Structure 1
Amino acid sequence: MNRRKFFRNGALSALGASLFTPFESIRASDFESVWKRKKAKNIIMLVSDGMSTGTLNMADLYLSRKKGKGSNWLNLYREDKVSRALMDMASASSIVTDSAAASSSWGGGTRIKNGGLNIGLNGEPHLPIWQKFKAAGKKAGCVTTVPITHATPAGFCVNQKSRNDQESIAEKYLEHGFDVLMGGGNEYFSADKRKDRKDMYAAFEGKGYYVARTRREMSTAPKGKSILGVFNDNGLPYAKDRENNGELKENTPSLAEMTSKAIEILKDSSQGFVLQVEGGKVDWAAHANDIAGLIYDQVAFDEAVQAAMDFAEKDGETLVIITTDHGNANPGVIYGKYANDEFDSIQNYKHTNEWILNGIGKETSINSVKERVEYANGFALTDEEATTLLGYYGSLDAEDGLYNPKHLPFSVLAEIQKQHNSVGWISMQHSADYVELAMYGPGSQLLKPFVKNTDLHYLMLEAAEVENAF
């Protein structure tokens, strides 16, 4: 779609008005006249990957019931600070998108098939938006809780036939000179881990990058240099496991800390900056039906939202975009006599299901399984439940699959937990949700109540007034 035609598209506007009139009351009307007179010097786009509406809801309930104040994201709605919409995230090959096609719809401005990065239906490349902004003089970066070479950050940065070629994506990041890159993914940068034995850390240092491998190294990174921060072999630890492990907390930054550091490094650019922030492990937790992983990583994402808003409200020239790329597993709190208390029990969880299940093996006793779950979740398994879990450990040798390579019994544990926390799940896969989209700052007045994913590409260009450069 022509970018200017989109913003004058009466049919789309009429559709939004007819379907979503109630959302008009949520628009940040007091700010609109101010935003119209400004362009977005900076853009911060925050993506809670795989966040179903139920996930957003449960994180808000968790915070409301524990701390007496809801999530930063939904408080922006309550305080009428943002424009709000629903967004259709379908890919070119399915109404259910994957993260690569979803990010590419924003990054390249066109829908592509699942699995690729900014490669069109006929093999044609579409220039990623962070490259467009770099060419316009802005600094650009991405931070995430999964490998920095993963689909969501890559969709804003590079063209790649397959999202799975993460070694090549690491090389392309260097080629294009992105200014901030932080997350996991050591296996795609380390000479000891890469198949081709290339030392990508040395290559980045050779191009003037500061390389950080720990939280402390990140915090002391100089402002004047580009940064590559890689803090784990694959994804970063879940927020709940990090919180209860001193070594992980000492060595691994939170998403909010990475966000704040990225802004610190980027903010002095005379032409402004663009930054993508991804809560990538929200999606991984949804794939695993891991409630502690899901809620606490969503809360960690919400803290990054606050870091972005703290900067944007002071700065006055920053467009903040908050959204997700698709639903996943569609969890929610289920009606029942004790739903309140059972849901509140999650406040006392010490670890994720990943931590629980990776600490069990073929030789683990029934009593040890029961003790591990009770320590992590605060309730006791029956002997039958413990035996059922153990029964899955006789055939876990082969490692294959993207999100659960060991084939651990995540769904079985989630079903057991449902009896104690009142949280149910419909699947362990992505879903075709229309997703929440919120905006604050110059450019937010352009948002219609219902948009297509590719429209967001052109809105960002329009807001920053660089839409005619390409």
Structure 2
Amino acid sequence: MDRRKFLKGSAILSGLLTLSPSDLWSFGKNSETSGTGKAKNIIFMVSDGMSLGTLSMADLYSRNILGKGSNWFNLYHEKKVTRALMDTASASSIVTDSAAASSAFGGGIRVKNGTLNMGANGEKHLPIWQQYKKAGKKAGCVTSVTITHATPAGFCVNSSRRNAEPQIVEMYADLELDVLLGGGDEFFNPSKREDKKDLYSVYRQKGYRILKTQNDLKEIRKGEKLLGIFNTGALPYSIDRAHLQEFKNTPTLAEMAHTAIHQMKDHPEGFVLQVEAGKVDWAAHANDVAALIHDQLAFDEAVKTAIDFAEKDGNTLVIITTDHGNANPGTIYGTEATKNFNSISDYQYTNEYILNKIQKEHSVKDIKDWIYEANKIVLNDEEAKHMLSFYNGLEKEEEGLYNYKKLPFKLYSDIQKSRNSVGWISMDHSGDYVEVAAYGPGNELLQPFIKNTDLHDLMLKACLI
């Protein structure tokens, strides 16, 4: 044995053993990308309900089908970010909902599931975007679901009920947040609200430009406050937007994020922005693999938008994470696993769209033809008959969050599983630890293992207030 090589290797090993866990976590990190000093801006990005399997499958699909790695994983490969695992529990459970999770980020405390920044005794914890607004910064939220949904609301308001969305709209108006982009026309439109209040008029009186379509994003003027409401309910899933003409004039998450950043970036005191891919969570609740992967990739494009800006700006902290896992999807071992997974590229629509098109009057052949057209899946007669039995009332209706029409999501995902080698543990949230990445000034504050409330403290330490 070469004694000099042995001694050199021993010295390296002993040096590694003297490092703290934090040092080991960031070992090999490019020091040029480490944050230093204080951030002027924050972009906080949440892929709602993103289990690690979701992140992994989106990267795998991107590499196998699109021929490129995902933007999130490229940040790891290029050592541009610090990275952590995060415990997502709420005050009432090891498995959180989005309201309690967002309150951990926004209010800095763990609250019971279903509440927004409200303590056990009714005490209100000041949401972080309000803190930054009072300090002179601009503040905004962007989401692919309703703008009043739990994740954006957790950064902005206090409420004992996350479902109080008609009231949250009015709270936003009082706060005069600078940019609000997402869905939820039913909470602004007097013809759809129970109290008949015209919240669009309220926002107009406060100086907001109202946006309704993708084309409207081209008409904004610098310095305007923006309220963009692009759908009743949530925005369409990304895969349906790509293939259905009726959704072509709906902006992507990346387009909305770009609009929000550029509307606020020149403010002398800086800005804070939350960007949420809310329908990743909805897709996981439905065990809908095509919806899940394509909305995660839409989030990934928004990540690129944020990082591209932050790299040029030099004063922006970008935090990329999720609020909790959901359904823990993943690829399953087998001789045809790769081929089966890649077959997802043949899927043209979400399961929601596919199943909504089936009617009880359809024949077995009709269903087999439609499923082949939509997913290139060849059903056998028994599978087609089983699906049809749901529409004829012969099977018990499926429940599930966001399954408003009681569609047979579980049945159909099981059929897909036998062809695409993707499995699910449930149709609901999970308590697994999740990924966090941070780029820019203050990213050095991110420790290897954190609680969700730690991100609240990190933002306040990293960004001037």
When normalised by structure 2's length, the TM-score is: 0.93
Structure number with greater Rg is: 2
Partner residue of 2:361?
363
Q: Is the Cα contact below 8 Å between 2:398 and 2:408 reproduced in 1?
A: no
Partner residue of 1:181?
180
Partner residue of 2:245?
246
> Separation in 2 of the partners of 1:26 and 1:48?
27
Matched, 1:51 2:53: no
Partner residue of 1:348?
346
Secondary structure of residue in 2 paired with 1:149:
coil
Secondary structure of residue in 1 paired with 2:139:
strand
- CA 1:399–1:336 in 2, change beyond 3 Å: closer, same or farther? closer
Amino acid at match of 2:196: R
1:29 to 28, 31, 36: 31
Q: Deviations over 1:387-425 (max 9, x none)?
A: 111111234999986411221110100000011111011
Segments of 4+ moved more than 6 angstroms: 396-401
Shift of 1:67: 2.6
Q: Is the Cα contact below 8 Å between 2:115 and 2:161 reproduced in 1?
A: yes
Moved more, 367-376 or 338-347: 367-376
Partner residue of 2:420?
421
Q: Deviations over 1:410-458 (max 9, x none)?
A: 0100000011111011100100011100000001011110111111111
Amino acid at match of 1:31: T
Partner residue of 1:168?
167
Q: Is the Cα contact below 8 Å between 1:26 and 1:77 reproduced in 2?
A: no
> Separation in 1 of the partners of 2:398 and 2:197?
25
Partner residue of 1:336?
334
1:72-91 paired onto structure 2 within 5 Å: 72-91=71-90
Structure 1, gaps ≥5 residues long:
1-15
Partner residue of 1:12?
none
Shift of 1:222: 1.6
Partner residue of 2:13?
none
Q: Is the Cα contact below 8 Å between 1:399 and 1:405 reproduced in 2?
A: no
Partner residue of 2:7?
none
Partner residue of 1:387?
385
Q: Is the Cα contact below 8 Å between 2:390 and 2:396 reproduced in 1?
A: no
Amino acid at match of 1:30: E
Amino acid at match of 2:122: G
Q: Is the Cα contact below 8 Å between 1:17 and 1:449 reproduced in 2?
A: no
Shift of 1:26: 6.0
> Separation in 2 of the partners of 1:167 and 1:99?
18
Amino acid at match of 1:362: K
- CA 1:17–1:416 in 2, change beyond 3 Å: closer, same or farther? farther
1:43-442 paired onto structure 2 within 5 Å: 43-249=42-248, 251-395=249-393, 402-442=401-441
Amino acid at match of 2:92: S
Q: Is the Cα contact below 8 Å between 2:183 and 2:234 reproduced in 1?
A: yes
> Separation in 2 of the partners of 1:191 and 1:226?
21
Secondary structure of residue in 2 paired with 1:61:
helix
Partner residue of 1:11?
none
Amino acid at match of 1:25: F
Amino acid at match of 1:81: K
Q: Deviations over 1:99-128 (max 9, x none)?
A: 000000010000000000000111100000
Amino acid at match of 1:71: S
Secondary structure of residue in 1 paired with 2:144:
strand
Moved more, 374-383 or 108-117: 374-383
Shift of 1:465: 2.9
Amino acid at match of 1:103: S
Secondary structure of residue in 1 paired with 2:27:
helix
How much identity, in percent, do the aligned residues show? Answer: 60
> Separation in 2 of the partners of 1:148 and 1:129?
17
CA RMSD of superposed structures (Å): 1.7
> Separation in 2 of the partners of 1:28 and 1:235?
39
Secondary structure of residue in 2 paired with 1:342:
helix
Secondary structure of residue in 2 paired with 1:439:
strand
Structure 2, gaps ≥5 residues long:
1-18
Secondary structure of residue in 2 paired with 1:454:
helix
Amino acid at match of 1:233: T
Shift of 1:263: 0.7
> Separation in 1 of the partners of 2:332 and 2:221?
49
> Separation in 2 of the partners of 1:451 and 1:398?
40
Secondary structure of residue in 1 paired with 2:26:
helix
- CA 1:27–1:121 in 2, change beyond 3 Å: closer, same or farther? farther
> Separation in 1 of the partners of 2:421 and 2:380?
18
Q: Is the Cα contact below 8 Å between 2:285 and 2:401 reproduced in 1?
A: no
Q: Is the Cα contact below 8 Å between 2:86 and 2:433 reproduced in 1?
A: yes
When normalised by structure 1's length, the TM-score is: 0.92
Amino acid at match of 2:315: E
Amino acid at match of 1:112: V
> Separation in 2 of the partners of 1:340 and 1:158?
45
Secondary structure of residue in 1 paired with 2:312:
helix
Amino acid at match of 1:39: K
Amino acid at match of 2:25: F
